[in-house]
Amino acid sequence: MDTVSARSLAGMSSNLLSSPARTWHGEFRLVSQQIPLISSYHVTGSNTNNSTSVRTSFFGERSPNTSKVAKGQRRSRPDHAVVSVLKGDRITGSRDVQAPDDVESLKAALAAAEARTDAAKQAEKKALDALAAMKNKSRDMAQNDQNSQEVFEGISLAVQVEKISESTIQKATLRITEDAELKIAAAETAAAEVILELEDQFRRAAEDAVQAASVEAQVTIDEARAAVSAARVQAEKSEAILNKQVKALNELAEAEAKVLMLEEALLDAGRKLQLANGETERIRIELDSAQRFIKTATARAEAAERTAEELQRAAAKEAEERADSAQSAINAVKKATQVRLDADKIAFEAELDALRSANDTSHKASEARRLVDKSRFELLERSLLAVESATAAWKNRALMAEKLLRLARINGAEIDTSSLPVEQAPSVGRLEVLPGSDVRIKDLLENGPRRETPDWMKRRLQIGQQVLPPMQPIAINADVDALIPLQLPSSETVWDVSKSKVKENDKYAVRAAEKEALDLQRNAMERALQTKSIKTLVRYPEDAEEKSESGTGSGREIVFQGFNWESWRRQWWLEMSAKASDLSKCGITTIWLPPPTHSVAPQGYMPGDLYNLNSAYGGSEELKQCIDEMHKHNILVLGDVVLNHRCAQKQSPNGVWNRFGGKLNWGPEAIVRDDPNFQGQGNPKSGDFFHAAPNIDHSQDFVRRDIIEWMKWLRSDFGFDGWRLDFVRGFWGGYVKEYIEATKPAFAIGEYWDSLAYEGGQVSYNQDAHRQRIVNWINAAGGTSSAFDVTTKGILHSALHGEFWRLIDPQGKPPGVMGWWPSRAVTFLENHDTGSTQGHWPFPRDKLMMGYAYILTHPGTPVIFHDHFYDFGLHDQIADLIAVRTRTGVHCRSKVKIFQANFEGYAAQVGDNLVMKIGHLDWNPSKQNNLAGSWNRCTDKGEYQLWERK
């Protein structure tokens, strides 16, 4: 076969494999007619040099040699004979065959056929996957529509038909391909033996084979195409039904989406309705609370009205009685005037003078009462002195008698008592017999001065100092017991002042009775003619039912000390005016300003002319502007008033500075008599001494009257709202009470600075005695003033250095004044004396924020020092603590429940809404069993943490 014929055969094979089935037969005929007649293949033998022509049947009869070759090929690789030939491999058992040149074309055609077959398989796989997905979707839609079953059946039928047709095509194609491969292999194998004479047979056999294959393939293809057409029609129907179902499903999905949207809207409306119901319930509860409060207030008002009516009735009754008494007196006067007209005028004037005297007596009642009390204390002192002297005399007599008896036993002599010396009783006051007892000395000083022992008391004392009566001579010998018991008087026979009775017509008793009568008369006049009303400043309307008083303010005060020891060097009033807005924004409610008066020392604590307010801090107008600016920002202003001492402006004739100047030009009578430096002429001191300036005698009426008038002037003309009272240890707390009740401040703080108790150089754990002294002063002031909690400051110094166990006392309460009387405790860390440039008792700087975390979250009234807030960089941290205190409602009376207090830290609940922790204690609210509620951490600074109730 020549090259053209081989190429034509390859092209024919390729066309047969790639053309549609219906054209195979015609194309094969057309190609076969184009193949030239070939007489033979030239086969090169292995054992001869000549070419031999071998005639072999093709596609029809097979020669033995051909059969042998085919058998050999199948024996070697039965399934891949054709492939081996196409690849050009040598076939075992055959001679060397020269493959035609167009075999490569057949290879390419078969490769293309295989690629198309693979592509068809992949398309079939994708179609099957899509049909499976549609089947799954249709299965899901079957629950919503009954007609979906028909869709499934149609799809299943179409899939089955598609599979049948695809299988039929594959089988026919495979069979044809196998037959063609076998025939091609046989033709190529037998090509060496084909002879020219069999060309006609080859053509006929080829035509018959192709025609048979074409017919078979055509029938199969027609059947497959019919099946495919039927499947396509059914698939189109199914697709139409599926589209309808998909459309219905889309509409259903849209309806479901709308339903979901409606359900969400309904849920949102339900939530809003619940919120509205909750808000309505809250408003209803608040309304009920308001109604209850209104009922309570109404009941209180009604009770007050009833009380007022009763008082009015009592006053009216008393007025009527007085009117009746006056009428009877007038009638008596009228009767007397009938006898003598001149006596009427005299009697009227006498009665008028008596009324004036009664009025004057009522004003002097307090002084008279004090004098009576002083007299009582003097009587008590003398009585105690007599008892002590009598006791000492009895003791001396007993010791002397014992001594004499022993001497008599030893010497055998008689005892002569006529020559015994008589020890005189001490003629000193009680203070000399009480060395080292400062408390008792102070008590006697507060309640009246010492007086010399009167003559009648000396005579009474001498009775107890009579010599022993002469003893009968007694013979003492060795047989007498050496220990003779002494016959001493019993304690019941000794005179006891508590069992003594006041003699009738005793001048002290008479004066006391007169004083009591005057007190009763004065109190009756005050109740009938005066009504006491104190205007209080209520800064928190929600707590209006809590009483605002001078000792506590509103109960929610946060005080700012607005100066340090060096503030006088600047224009301080103007500087503080500029800071008013910032202080108000940070939650400060009260500011404590330095002493405003003229002073010998620039800091203001050595006052001279009290009415001169041009000080080192600025002029009086600048001070007034500063106070007005604070008031614009709702900040109360406390004035620092120094009442214990005052610097004189003039010297006495002997050169002592004890003459005061200015409006209050007092003399030595305003200075206590026992002041060691200034030769005062007043009464003894009622407190501790301040040695740098004359100590004022507050027991003098004119002194208290002038001080009250000055303090009222500070309030009315300059707008001070309250007081910080300097060095209150220097005078009796009762005078403070009088000053506060007269000036009616919104808030008052007393400085009672006393030393803590120490053991071995360390602060003692038990500081009850220290805080008791502060509480005693508050009691003496009638609770009208708070006091700085120096106890808490001293304990914090040590507690914050790993000794947090100091922050709880044996009763489980805070250890300072805060634990005993929190509403009167003013807590602080530092002030102008302890810190600043003086540094008498500075707070540890690295523990400042822990200290503020403690005092700003605990009851009492906290004070913030100026330097810490503006100079130490703690402004924002302190402001955050103030915000938490305000937000959680902590006030001066809040309850404290301490959970932990050990070496590692301290944890406590304050009020109802705040929990705090300082130190490095491993603790949080969730670890506390007896702590209810849910808590949210609002502050975490490492060394201190705060939690608010959610």
The DSSP 8-state label assigned to residue 585 in this structure reads H
Query: At 615, is the secondary structure helix, strand, or coil?
Result: strand
The DSSP 8-state label assigned to residue 495 in this structure reads -
Task: Please give the Cα distance from 699 to 738 (Å, whole number).
Answer: 11
Residue-level length of the chain: 950
Note the pLDDT of residue 430: 41
pLDDT digits (tens, 9 = 90+) for 881-925: 999 999 999 999 999 999 999 999 999 999 999 999 999 999 999
Note the pLDDT of residue 179: 73
Residue of 193, 751, 789, 809 marked active site: 751
Q: Which two tokens stand for residue 377?
A: 């204390």
Q: Which two tokens stand for residue 724?
A: 């910080």
Query: At 466, is the secondary structure helix, strand, or coil?
Result: coil
- 129 exposed, middle or buried (CB, 10 Å; 0-12, 13-18, 19+)? exposed
Task: Please give the Cα distance from 738 to 703 (Å, whole number).
Answer: 12
Task: Please give the Cα distance from 542 to 546 (Å, whole number).
Answer: 9
Task: Please give the Cα distance from 230 to 242 (Å, whole number).
Answer: 18
Asked whether 613 and 623 are in contact (CB, 8 A), the reply is yes
Q: Which two tokens stand for residue 188?
A: 């190529």
Task: Please give the Cα distance from 168 to 170 (Å, whole number).
Answer: 5
Note the pLDDT of residue 525: 60
Sheet containing strand 935-940, edge to edge, reads: 896-901, 905-910, 914-919, 944-949, 935-940
904 is catalytic: no
H or E stretch at 121? helix 103-141
Q: Which two tokens stand for residue 628?
A: 């007005």
For helices 365-411 and 455-463, give the axis angle rounded to 10 degrees: 30
The DSSP 8-state label assigned to residue 587 in this structure reads T
User: Distance of CA 944 to CAs 258, 639, 803, 854, Å?
Assistant: 54, 34, 15, 9
Which amino acid does the sequence have at 644? N
Residue of 378, 726, 789, 809 marked active site: 726
**Count of alpha carbons within 13 angstroms of residue 716, beta-carbon side:** 8
Which amino acid does the sequence have at 879? A
∠ at Cα 298 (297, 301), nearest 5°? 85
Task: Please give the Cα distance from 114 to 92 (Å, whole number).
Answer: 27
Do the strands 762-763 and 758-759 form a parallel or antiparallel pair, or are they unpaired? antiparallel
CB atoms within 10 A of CB 654: 7
Which amino acid does the sequence have at 899? F
Instruction: Please give the full DSSP string across 17-86, using - where no structure is assigned.
Output: HHS-GGGHHHHHHHHHHHSPP-----B--SS-SS-B------SS---HHHHHHHHHHHHH-TTSHHHHHH
Long-range contacts made by residues 679-682, C-beta under 8 angstroms, separation at least 24? Answer: 679/652, 679/654
Buried b (16+ CB within 10 A) or exposed e, 58-92: bbeebbebbeebbeebeeeeeeebbebbbeeeebe
Task: Please give the Cα distance from 730 to 736 (Å, whole number).
Answer: 11
2 is catalytic: no
**Percent above pLDDT 90 for the chain:** 39
Asked whether 488 and 434 are in contact (CB, 8 A), the reply is no
Strand-pairing partners, residue 944, are 918
Q: Which two tokens stand for residue 826?
A: 């003013």
- Contacts with 311 (C-beta within 8 Å, 6 or more apart), sequence order: 527
Residue identified by tokens 């006529």 is: 418
Task: Please give the Cα distance from 949 to 941 (Å, whole number).
Answer: 19
Do the strands 758-759 and 559-561 form a parallel or antiparallel pair, or are they unpaired? unpaired
Task: Please give the Cα distance from 627 to 721 (Å, whole number).
Answer: 10
Strand-pairing partners, residue 907, are 900, 917
Q: Which two tokens stand for residue 590?
A: 């009260």
Asked whether 4 and 36 are in contact (CB, 8 A), the reply is yes
- 702 exposed, middle or buried (CB, 10 Å; 0-12, 13-18, 19+)? exposed
Asked whether 604 and 642 are in contact (CB, 8 A), the reply is yes
∠ at Cα 667 (666, 670), nearest 5°? 75
The parts of the chain modelled with pLDDT lower than 50 are 1-101, 148, 151, 415, 417-437, 445, 448-450, 464-484, 486, 494-498, 530-546
Task: Please give the Cα distance from 944 to 174 (Å, whole number).
Answer: 88
CATH number of 561-803+816-891: 3.20.20.80
Residue 570: what are its φ and ψ, rounded to 5°? -120, 170
- 934 exposed, middle or buried (CB, 10 Å; 0-12, 13-18, 19+)? exposed
Q: What is the pTM of this model?
A: 0.48
Task: Please give the Cα distance from 728 to 779 (Å, whole number).
Answer: 13
Note the pLDDT of residue 276: 81
Number of continuous H segments (helices) and E segments (strands) in the chain: 23, 15
CB atoms within 10 A of CB 444: 21
Q: Give residue 793's Cα distance to chain centre.
A: 22
Task: Please give the Cα distance from 448 to 382 (Å, whole number).
Answer: 13
CB atoms within 10 A of CB 589: 22
CB atoms within 10 A of CB 489: 9
- What residue spans define the domains of the chain? 3-116+176-224, 312-363, 376-470+502-527, 561-803+816-891
**Count of alpha carbons within 13 angstroms of residue 528, beta-carbon side:** 16
Q: Which two tokens stand for residue 67?
A: 């059969």
- Contacts with 53 (C-beta within 8 Å, 6 or more apart), sequence order: 39, 40, 42, 195, 196
CB atoms within 10 A of CB 245: 21
